[in-house]
Structures are given as C-alpha cells and as structure tokens.
Chains A and B, each alone.
Chain A
C-alpha cells in the first residue's frame, strides 16, 4: 500500500468533479478494496486498492506480467480474489459467475480477440444484447409475436451501434473473414451492445497500426462522450493512455506503484523506475 490512492480521494470528493474539457465525472462506481489474487504460490495481485468513478476513463498500465489482465479478470468475475472485496454501486459484490457479473452491466473486450468466429458480425453484436432479451424458449420457438418484436427492438439498438462504429458494410459478413482491426472494432461493438455501465477494454489497440489506433482512440472517447460509459482501459501504448485517460493506475509485479492523473503518474519516481529500470549507483 502506498498513500497515493488516498491522496487522490482528497482531490476528488465523492460528489465528483468536472474535467478540464468539461466532462462530468461522478462518484465512485466501483472500488477494489485490498485485492489479493494468488495462483498456487504465485501472487498475481498483491493487496491492491483503487476506485473507478462514474463517467471516467480509468487506465491500468504496467510492464508485462504486472497483473493488469488479472485485475480485469477480477473485475469481470472470471477470477475470484483470495482476499479483498469488489464494491460495486456501493455494495460488496458476492462471489459471482462471470455471466452474472455481465448481467450487472459490466461488459468487456479481450486481449486476444474472442469473437464468435462462426457467426456474422450482426449475430455477434446481437449476442451482446443477451440480457436485454427476455423471451423464453417457447416464445422464441413460436417466433411470431413477442419474440419477433423483441428481436426487432434490439436489432434497432444494435444498428445504432453499428452506425456509431461505422461497420455498416460488414454487418452480414462472417467474423472469421474480417481483418484484425475490424475484428477489434466488432468486439467493441459487442461489448457496447450490452449498454454496460462499466466497459472493460483489455488492450484495445494491441497490434494495430497508427491509423487504426487513432480510429480506436476516437471511438473510445466518443463512447465515453456520447453514452457517458465508464471505461477501464489496459494499454501498452503510453501516448494513447496519457491522452485518453482521466486517471491511471500503475502496476508492477502485482503491486500498485502509482495512481493519479496522467501528469502525476508521469512524474512518479516508482513508475519511472519500473518503466526505465533502476539506475545502479
């Protein structure tokens, strides 16, 4: 533990604040409290606490193997930490299966694209709207009536997202045929289709060229702007992180070594050491 998280809390009171570019950041949406995650003898995350505020873009950065993805997996309920609590919307979250977490409004994308390759782009995105669809098996088997109405209503929402992310032309294409950059975008679309309250992005720009990165950055900012979606971002490209995010958590070897605005983090000595190495006297 170091004191920076607490220092941050003094600056931003619980009512939230307004950023320099005029976006309103709300109170605490989710708080990670003393999370420790072990795999056998390996400690992946060691006693980490931080919070995520409504409407902000929160980045988690750190060198390879720092435990960033593990952290995201804890948030999305895929890993269950041995110690510590996840506080969501003010309540301690009980141990849940990942699909239950998803139904609470936490959607994510994956580091290695995890789209459903056998399905079309449209079907992939429609799958994201799963918990907005209530028709039961028998209604769906009959199709006419409620199931069809529901399908169309959700299709309309999905089309909005398709327009928003500019992927109209590949709507009916099987995902397996798409190039990498578009796949990443479809994955973002699938996560957005859930209308999440918190969106987790695991390295959305990994393996992209500059142009694709610019597109993706624009989409992330637009999503945040338009829908006010709280976004948690893991990214290696420092330029992107510093430009996009409101606050940054820095991890190294499973520990938190920094937390604050991009400027604060940039000037943090521990962070500089972790990234540039320690000078040996």
Chain B
C-alpha cells in the first residue's frame, strides 16, 4: 500500500513529464540523493571507496553513455574501451599542457574531445548496421589503443609508456594523485555521475531522444516522418562518447592514477560496459546503474561472502567468483532478457496494485 499512484493526479503537462511521476519514487530518489551527498561522505573509507563506490560511479557513467548509443539509438558499439582511453589520454594531455586548468574542466573537455572522436568513428553507422557496425567500431578499439601505445606524444615521451595523473585540487582538496582522500574521490565522481544521469534523462525524454528511439525501432519509417538519420546517429555517437570519455577521464585521473592504454582500456573494458548495459537493461537510465552495480558490486559482495563469511581460501574464491557471476549473468538473461530494469518495472507494476490486485 506504500507504493501507489492512485490519487496522484497531474494537472499540467510539466508535472506529467517529470522524471519520477509517482510520489513515492520521487521521495525515494530524494532520499538516495540525500544519503549519497550527506551521509556517505561521513562514513566512507578507503576500502569502500576504492573497491566499490568509486568504480561503480565511474562505470555507471560509461554504461549511461553506451546505453544511449545501443539502448536508445540502436547502434551497436564495441569501441567503448577505446573511447574511455580517449577520455583518459585527453585529460592527461590537457592536465600536462594546462596545469592551471581546474580538473573539473579538464574532465569535461576530455569528454568533448571524445565526443569528436566518437562522431568520427560513428560515420560508418550511416552506411552499415548491426553486427557489421559492431565490427567497424571494433576497428576503432584496436586502432586507437595502437595509436596510444605507439605514439610517444600521447604519453609525453615517458620512458615507461604509462600516463600518470598529477595532483589536482578542487576547493583545496586533492582529488587526483596519491594524496587524494576517499571522500574527495567519491564526491567528484558522485557529482559527475549525478550530472551525467540528469543530462541523459533530459536528452532521452525530449525530441532528440525520440529521434534516437525512432531510428532504433524502424529507421526507414523514422526517415520518412522527418528524422534526419545522419543527425540522429551522429548526435547519439557524440553524446554517448562524451559520457564514455568523462568516465575514462575519471577512471584514469581519480581512480587508477596511472594507466597504460592496452592494459587499462583493452577490449575487455568494451565488453564489461556492454554487459553492464545488457544486464542492466537496454534503453533505461536506471538500467545503466543497475548493470554497473551488478558487475562491480556483485563480485565484491561475493568475495566478502566466500572469504570472510564462509572462510574459503582466497584463490579458490576468486575462481568461483568468476564462475558464479558468469552463471548469474546467464540466469538473468534467461529469466529477464530485458535486464534488471525490466525486472524492476515488473515489480513496480505489481506493487502498484498490491495487496489488492483486483
């Protein structure tokens, strides 16, 4: 009876169009936001930040970006890892070229650089679709990583071939570099995650989002009713790459601190984010978060359970962890092919009527 929409009437189209039309949802969302901004900074420690919360937030941004491309616009991409690398190397070059520039702007600019690269590699989408497009984006993955490992300019001719993030401050707090505290790392990632989620929601509920979905659902009909396929697809690539670039920049500057293209942004990253999107739910903002949570927090929780809870040896637990996560993915896809978001939606529909379904 807690979760209901009866009596929750809308008297304007603005009210009808809001993100959480049901009051209960809205308060839940405010509560989560309040908790994340006010309570989490007080209780977070290094372990929580490094192994769970920060990677979850960063990958949630990447999943949001890829979800716009695949889930909303229907363009398959396997180049996410490379686009994250563009964000990372872009932020590195900007940080070293303009040491005075605030890290927040560096990350946003890195996002724009990635957007431009994304548009470039999105051009084939005008001609090819589906799996063939996926293969074309795979070319981006290999080419860009090759470029970043072979061209010394990108890593400022450092002898190791690695890039490492210098220390940068926001409001006097170190957010990158070895002295960055758990709280400041967490806060900068949280701000970026909330901001990108808000942008993604705005873009997908408006005219542009409808154009993307129209292209996804039936591209020929979309063109005949007035969608410019060139614009729709390239904006999807741009926006998606912008988010992925921000995620890559955060991953490198805040989380990893030092990275090497082939190792940190290989094809396994592309697949990881793709799995997040598919498991979380295509075409859903919530799904991006759910998928990231499942694949980032899931293994950690499992490890805690196996090693700390059941007292198993660490190496055995590590192997079993991979197997169990793999099996869970399969189970999920069989039970609910549309992802956790669809499962969540079904639960909500049921809850709406509970406990009097008639």
Contact = CB atoms under 8 A, between A and B. Distances in A.
Contacts of B213: 116, 118-119, 123, 127
Interface stretch (B78-86, B215-223, B293-301): B215-223
Contacts of B207: 126, 130, 133, 135, 140, 150-151
Interface in A199-228: none
B134 interface: no
B116 interface: no
B224 A147 contact: no
A23 interface: no
A142 B239 CA distance: 13
Contact of A103 (B203, B226, B229): B226
B199 interface: yes
Interface string B1-31: 0000000000011100100000000000000
A108 B225 CA distance: 7
Contacts of A151: 13, 17, 206-207
B206 A143 contact: yes
Interface stretch (A34-42, A94-102, A234-242, A247-255): A94-102
Given A116-B213, A119-B213, A152-B14, A141 B229 contact: no
Contacts of A103: 226
Interface string A95-134: 0011100110001101000111111000100111011010
Task: Select the residue from B13, B206, B211, B216 with max chain A CB neighbours within 10 A.
Answer: B206
Interface string B77-111: 00000000000000000000000000000000000
Task: Select the residue from A76, A77, A135, A148 with max chain B CB neighbours within 10 A.
Answer: A148
B283 interface: yes
Contacts of B221: 110, 114-116
B70 to A, nearest CB: 13
A140 B217 contact: no
Nearest to B226: A102
B46 to A, nearest CB: 34
Interface string B195-237: 0000100110111101101101110111111111100000100
A140 B203 contact: yes
A18 B228 CA distance: 39
Contacts of A60: none
B211 A130 contact: yes
Contacts of B17: 148, 151-152, 155
Nearest to A200: B224
A88 interface: no
A156 interface: yes
A102 B13 CA distance: 27
Contacts of B218: 114-117
Nearest to A133: B207
A88 to B, nearest CB: 16
Interface residues of A, number: 41
A256 interface: no
Contact of B220 (A114, A131, A133, A143): A114
Contacts of A147: 202, 206
B208 A140 contact: yes
A126 B210 contact: yes
Contacts of A135: 206-207
A46 B63 CA distance: 53
Contacts of A118: 213, 216-217, 283
Interface in B317-349: none
Given A148-B14, A155-B13, A156-B13, A130 B283 contact: no
Contacts of B223: 97-99
A190 interface: yes
Given A116-B217, A137-B235, A107 B225 contact: yes
A191 interface: yes
Interface in B143-192: none
Contacts of A50: none
Contacts of B211: 127, 130
B222 to A, nearest CB: 7
A151 B12 CA distance: 12
Contact of B206 (A97, A116, A140, A191): A140
A131 to B, nearest CB: 5
Interface of B: 12-14, 17, 199, 202-203, 205-208, 210-211, 213-214, 216-218, 220-229, 235, 239, 283
17 contacts: A99-B226, A99-B229, A103-B226, A110-B221, A114-B224, A116-B218, A118-B216, A126-B210, A128-B226, A133-B206, A140-B206, A141-B199, A142-B202, A150-B207, A152-B12, A155-B17, A194-B226
For the complex of A and B, 3 pairs with smallest distance between CB atoms: A102-B226, A114-B221, A116-B217
Given A116-B216, A155-B17, A194-B225, 4 more contacts: A99-B224, A107-B225, A110-B221, A130-B207
